[in-house]
Chain A
Amino acid sequence: MTIYLTIAVIILIFVVIFQISKASEYVSTLKGDEVSRKQNNKINGFLMVVFLVLGLIGVWYCNHVLFDKTLLAHDSASVEGARVDSMLWVTLAVTGIVFIGTQIVLFWFAYKYQEKENRKVFYFPHSNALEVLWTVVPAIALTVLVVIGLRNWFLFTGAPPQNAMQIEVTGKQFGWIFRYPGNDGAFGKKYYKNIDAATNSIGLIWDDQLTHDDVVTEQTMYVVKGKPVKLIIGSRDVIHDVGLSAFRLKMDAVPGIPTTMWFTPKYTTAEMKEITGNPNFVYEISCDQMCGNGHYSMKGIIEVVSQEDFDLWMAKQKPLYLSAFPDKDPENAKPAAVPAVAVKSATDVESTKPVKL
């Protein structure tokens, strides 16, 4: 019912506007087209300045209300992200000056040079000096921005520092799978036809000994504060994107073509809760490439922790090989021990030693 009422009201408003508009056309015909045209011209000329002033106030107000909700309100969570931020501010300064300047000139000219009787227009078809001026000045400004940009770009896309840890990230509809190389520090081979949704989510090749200590987890990724981390990114089905807004980076996950990205986390999750003043803060991985109907819910979590906490956590993880082949698990060798281990890991009372093979 309300919907019909709303539609009726809208139509009514339209009819009123239309009737007024028609009436004003009749009036203008009576007054003489030239007279009413000049009146309209004055009104629109005035509105140009009104729009300029209100628009600039609106730009300020928008910033006033929304700035604290953006990432710029706080420090970047990664060392590299800080460079993105500083580059962003430089770009904002350059484009902001041009924006304010040109908009003022545009609307001011529109107001100032509105039709007046007896004004003689200035026949000004071209001026080489002016045209060279506004070819060269933008070109110089852009060169500066390009230089800053490319220095950052080559840093971000270049090789990570030697001490970087490596994590493999695999996107799937609609979640994230993470793989750590284990104690040998090397990832074993994988092949997508080996994928088994239950026991081998990324298709590790068990014949390759290197896979046997690879730790595979889902949804939450642990990284270490201050230690560069290199992500080796892939996808199991369609194209996804590892979006790390707090770290100011993202990279596509493409099936069949691995990509990489590295960054250095600056603050632990706990520290970031204080910095943002948000007790619920978490580092989220958002999928930034349309990947199907669950795209909006494809969330991962990154826990940034200290090295000790990371070691404690890693020690609790069991290689995927042992979950796939429970009989190979040394802790399962004595049948009696099974319940005890299960209780331990379920309650997280103490950490088990990392398994060596």
Chain B
Amino acid sequence: MSNEAVLHAHSGAHDGHGDHSHEHHHQSFISKYVFSQDHKMIAKQFLITGMVWAVLGGFMSVLFRLQLGYPDASFPWLETILGKWAKGGHITPEAYYALVTTHGTVLVFFVLTAGLSGTFANFLIPLQIGARDMASPFMNMLSYWFFFAASIVMLSSIFVETGPFSGGWTAYPPLSALGDASPGSKSGMDLWIVSMALFVVSSLLGGLNYIATVLNMRTKGMSMTRLPLTIWALFFTAVLGVLSFPVLFSGFILLIFDRNFGTSFYLSDIFINGVGALPNEGGSAILYQHLFWFLGHPEVYIILLPAMGMVSEILSVNSRKPIFGYMAMIGSLFAIAILAFLVWAHHMFVTGLNPLLGSVFVLLTLLIAVPSAIKVFNWLTTLWRGNIRFTPGMLFAIGFVSLFISGGLTGIWLGNSALDIHLHDTYFVIAHFHIVMGVASMFGMFAGIYHWFPKMYGRFMNNTLAYIHFWVTMAGAYMIFWPMHYEGLAGMPRRYYDYSIWESFKQFQGLNQFISLIAMIVFAVQFLFLFNFFYSIFKGRKVTTQNPWEANTLEWTTPIHPGHGNWPDEIPEVHRWAYDYGKDGVDFIPQTTPVGANESVEH
């Protein structure tokens, strides 16, 4: 793997890690970079694996956008890389659906779950609560390696003869259960499901660890209400994952039984062309959807909450002002976490579910808009009368707020069942969730990377490249997804390979071409970021002060290159909350500073 090479070379840049270490233990290459139990190294492993998947998943979207934008054009180079999946330079429907499915699966689970909370929960929890490592470093290591195994299995599914799974990332049976209904549901689906099972194990190992660490290992004085909002967000994320991933797993188990052992949990009354009537009777295809979305909706918040937490922290640090409404921020995170479990059926308004049940889910779904609104207004107020430094992290944090507003508001449309009946499974939905969950969380991730890169590698990333990266991505994201709302308002369905035969939808050919073009540009610009990231690990401007952003939180009290154990001496004691910026005219007061005699009492 390339990340091993990268991490290996990285040793040259930072030999001397161990000198700062509390424990001074000798580490071999294997124990330091491969089977590492240091939370910081595991975080980097998650991050770099996530990046590899982001590039692959992003590239898949470029491929299927080529089909959507240029359905009549032939690209001979596609046949070179895809072989029989792009005969004559045209992506086949099989390949198109496989690309769409794999794009969705890896971006949602591997990039925005493992890559986001895997990276930042591992990196930030011990550093910001004042702990030497996770509650169980060994479990933490297993969590990464289960994720790695899941990655390998998913990757291998791309190369099987019948193709990878192609029934959409939600994998609804009967389509996903019956190999005869779709070639992608043959061995490609077996690998998909094994990969996802491994991923669930990884998530659970990680999540239990995060919860245990936050609850038990906070340093002296670090009460729960003094925690930075990043930690609160990551904590709720872990709780969501631990409570909902097992339900998804149960859904997968039943699916495995239906696929391989002749049970009928999801199957009933099925006649397949060329095969005939199947013996299965009495199952419910809708049961799977309940089990899937019982994870699937919390999953949205598993993706979003870490981004919210990091954005809260970064906005406050760079506005040089306390986050507005700290307790309300925790309260709204809590409300979102609770409501996340009570809204899953809004994905199922058109499955024929009981209308009364549907109405309850409308109410609960729209209720989520309240804590979301609180968060947005609190972020805006945090900026108000601040003294804003536009670091790259800050730009992405502001971009996150903008995207979260834009995508969140369309959730009010889709959560209202009578409107959803019209807009369900159209491009309106694609626009909605890509803006609010995909791009916004990606922005949160970028913000986190730019902000904590100096702590990760002891160097800065290049600012000019970061600014170009931000502005092009920001403008591009809106140009790609904003017009999709209009396609949705024309009723244009998702997951269509070709719209040219449809009188109702073919008027958007020009627009699709425009969107594909922008998507390719935005994808290309991400390489500026990747290059910046890897180049800066070795050659970036060196961090010379312990606390380059002048932040209050504990991670900036560690040495520039913290060793395993994080603090060479005693773990510092905490005396105040994390957001004393601009208090009594003082620019910032780190959490480790005792409360002065003349200090005003507020908070």
**Distance of A139 Cα from B332 Cα, bound (Å):** 14
Contact indicator B355/A293 (Cβ below 8 Å): no
Contact indicator B286/A257 (Cβ below 8 Å): yes
Contact indicator A290/B172 (Cβ below 8 Å): yes
Q: Using an 8 Å CB-CB cutoff, how does the interface string of B271-286 with A read, 1 for contact, 0 for none?
A: 1110001000111111
Whether A91 contacts B412 in the complex (CB less than 8 A), given A10-B524, A138-B373, comes out as: yes
Hey, which bits of chain B sit against chain A, CB under 8 A?
77, 93-94, 97, 166-168, 172-175, 178, 181-184, 267-273, 277, 281-286, 319-328, 350-352, 355, 358-359, 362-363, 366-367, 369-370, 373-374, 376-378, 380-381, 383-390, 395, 398, 401-402, 405-406, 409-410, 412-413, 416-419, 421-422, 424-426, 462-465, 467-468, 471, 474-475, 478-479, 482-483, 486, 489-499, 501-505, 507-508, 511, 524, 527-528, 531-532, 541, 579, 581-585, 602-603
Contact indicator A299/B501 (Cβ below 8 Å): yes
Q: Of all chain B residues, which has the CB nearest A15?
A: B531
10 pairs across A/B with beta carbons < 8 Å? A91-B416, A99-B406, A121-B321, A238-B181, A239-B285, A252-B350, A252-B351, A257-B284, A257-B352, A289-B425
Pick from B464, B474, B482, B603: contact of A20, CB below 8 A. Answer: B464
**Taking the nearest CB of chain B, how far is it from the CB of A252, in angstroms?**
5
Hey, which bits of chain A sit against chain B, CB under 8 A?
3, 10, 14, 17-18, 20-22, 24-25, 28-29, 37, 40-41, 43-45, 47-48, 51, 55, 58-59, 62-63, 66-67, 69-72, 81, 83-84, 87-88, 91, 94-95, 98-99, 102-103, 105-107, 109-110, 113-116, 119-127, 130-131, 134-135, 138-139, 142, 145-146, 148-150, 152-154, 156-158, 172-173, 192-193, 195, 197, 203, 233, 236-239, 241, 243, 245-246, 248-252, 254-260, 278, 280-282, 284, 286-297, 299
Contact indicator A284/B504 (Cβ below 8 Å): yes
**Distance of A55 Cα from B182 Cα, bound (Å):** 43
Pick from A134, A158, A203: contact of B374, CB below 8 A. Answer: A134
Report chain B residues within 8 Å CB of A237. 174, 178, 181, 270-273
Pick from A158, A236, A256, A258: contact of B283, CB below 8 A. Answer: A256
**Distance of A250 Cα from B425 Cα, bound (Å):** 10
Contact indicator A122/B285 (Cβ below 8 Å): no
Contact indicator A126/B388 (Cβ below 8 Å): no
Pick from A29, A58, A288: contact of B424, CB below 8 A. Answer: A288
Report chain B residues within 8 Å CB of A45. 388, 390
**Distance of A148 Cα from B418 Cα, bound (Å):** 9
Report chain A residues within 8 Å CB of B479. 58
Contact indicator B541/A25 (Cβ below 8 Å): yes
**Distance of A132 Cα from B225 Cα, bound (Å):** 21
**Distance of A58 Cα from B324 Cα, bound (Å):** 31
Report chain A residues within 8 Å CB of B367. 142
**Distance of A125 Cα from B552 Cα, bound (Å):** 15
Contact indicator B383/A87 (Cβ below 8 Å): no
Report chain B residues within 8 Å CB of A248. 421-422
Q: Please classify the interface of chain A as helix (H, G, I), strand (E, B), loop, or mixed, using the class held by over half of its residues.
A: helix
Whether A125 contacts B326 in the complex (CB less than 8 A), given A17-B465, A250-B422, comes out as: yes
Contact indicator B362/A153 (Cβ below 8 Å): yes
Q: Of all chain B residues, which has the CB nearest A83?
A: B418
Contact indicator A197/B398 (Cβ below 8 Å): no
Contact indicator B467/A44 (Cβ below 8 Å): yes
Whether A44 contacts B412 in the complex (CB less than 8 A), given A10-B524, A153-B417, A254-B352, comes out as: no
Report chain B residues within 8 Å CB of A284. 502-504
**Distance of A249 Cα from B172 Cα, bound (Å):** 21
**Taking the nearest CB of chain B, how far is it from the CB of A2, in angstroms?**
9
Contact indicator A114/B388 (Cβ below 8 Å): yes
Report chain A residues within 8 Å CB of B351. 252, 254, 259
Q: Of all chain A residues, which has the CB nearest B100?
A: A290
**Taking the nearest CB of chain A, how far is it from the CB of B507, in angstroms?**
5
**Taking the nearest CB of chain B, how far is it from the CB of A254, in angstroms?**
5
**Distance of A161 Cα from B33 Cα, bound (Å):** 70
Q: Of all chain A residues, which has the CB nearest B93?
A: A293
Whether A113 contacts B383 in the complex (CB less than 8 A), given A255-B285, A288-B493, comes out as: yes
Contact indicator A135/B374 (Cβ below 8 Å): yes
Report chain B residues within 8 Å CB of A10. 524
Contact indicator B383/A110 (Cβ below 8 Å): yes
Q: Of all chain B residues, which has the CB nearest A150?
A: B359
**Distance of A59 Cα from B479 Cα, bound (Å):** 10
Report chain B residues within 8 Å CB of A98. 405, 409
13 additional A-B residue pairs with CB within 8 Å, beyond A157-B355, A257-B286: A51-B475, A63-B486, A113-B319, A124-B381, A126-B326, A149-B417, A150-B362, A237-B181, A250-B424, A255-B270, A259-B351, A284-B503, A289-B172
**Distance of A246 Cα from B468 Cα, bound (Å):** 43
